Amino acid sequence: MAKSAKNILISQNAPAEKEQSQYKLLAEKYNLNLTFNKFFEVVRISNKEFRAQRINLLDYPAVIMTSKMAVDNYFHFAEQMRLVIPDEMKFFCITDSIANYLQNYIQYRKRKIFYGKLTFDELIPVMLKHREDKYLFPCAEDASAINFKKLEAANINYTKIVMHRSEPKDLSKIDIKKYDMVVVFSPIGVKSFVTNFPNTTSDDVMFAAFGKPTQKALQKYKLKVTVAAPTVKSPSMIMALDHFFEETSQAKTSKKATATKDDDTKTAASVKKTTKTTAAKTTTATAKTTVSKAKTSSTTKTATTKTAKAKKADQ
């Protein structure tokens, strides 16, 4: 059985609406202390690094946007290269919120903007309706290959361009000994943890990890994964943590009940033993009394016999 955890360090920024978040409900349900602190920061690459990729933004009439950071960087480098993004440029955004964010740089109504509901998979069918276009995919230096493979499987003509990277943050102000569990969501988060706390092991703290790449990163550093997500039962980290703490609570209750039962059994055995001992002592005392009475009776009988004989002899 896994040991219990009360103080949890989550390697993300605190939710924007913390009071209404699922994390708050989780904390209240299991009486947890949650601390949010992002383990890395995202930084834009230099103009020199951008030019070294030798990619002209205007050669691609369609752009895939998976984050607001990608939007910011795309228009930043367009400005740095003194490029004017034409009105006919198409933007394919993973969510409507990212699509709306484009309004910071362009007039939304005059553009060809498409978006999915939530996941990259939902964006693929939309992109396939414009299969003839060449797509540019602004991404991070350490971007997961999963989305690239999906584009290749759909035979979509795309080119990735690195515009930003993730770098470990200085976490020296964190007292890691205060925490029972650390929740990580990416390999760079794991790298940052190991860089900042090189001597911490799985015996010191438990790890909850989201995604296979993150779990493999922990295993690479010989750190055990106690809570894994996503799974069929727990598609999100919140659900995985909920199941973990529920099972831990049930195990505690079961252990307490077993201990109480054992105590009751020991008490009953003790009472039985005491009763047995008392009964044995009583039996022994009774036996001694009976023997004593028998001896007294025998002595009295002998004395009476001797007296009778003495009287007879005198006569």
Average pLDDT, 10 consecutive residues per value, the chain (315 residues): 81 83 94 96 94 96 94 96 92 92 83 83 92 95 88 95 94 96 95 96 96 94 96 93 91 55 56 58 57 53 51 51
**Longest Cα separation, the chain:** 157
pLDDT of residue 91: 95
Give the integer Cα–Cα distance in Å for 301 and 156. 123
- Residue among 104, 117, 97 nearest 74 (CA): 104
pLDDT of residue 1: 44
CATH 1.20.120.520 for domain 7-39+173-253? no
pLDDT of residue 250: 76
pLDDT of residue 306: 52
Three-state secondary-structure class, residue 204: coil
Dihedral angle over CA of 56, 58, 59, 63, nearest 10: 100
Ranges of CATH 3.40.50.10090 domains, the chain: 7-39+173-253, 43-168
- Residue among 195, 199, 190 nearest 218 (CA): 190
Give backbone dihedrals phi and psi of 19, rounded to 5 degrees, phi first. Answer: -70, -20
Q: CATH number for the 43-168 domain, one of 3.40.50.2000, 3.90.180.10, 1.10.443.10, 3.40.50.10090?
A: 3.40.50.10090
Q: How many CB atoms lie within 10 A of CB 246?
A: 12
Give the integer Cα–Cα distance in Å for 69 and 46. 15
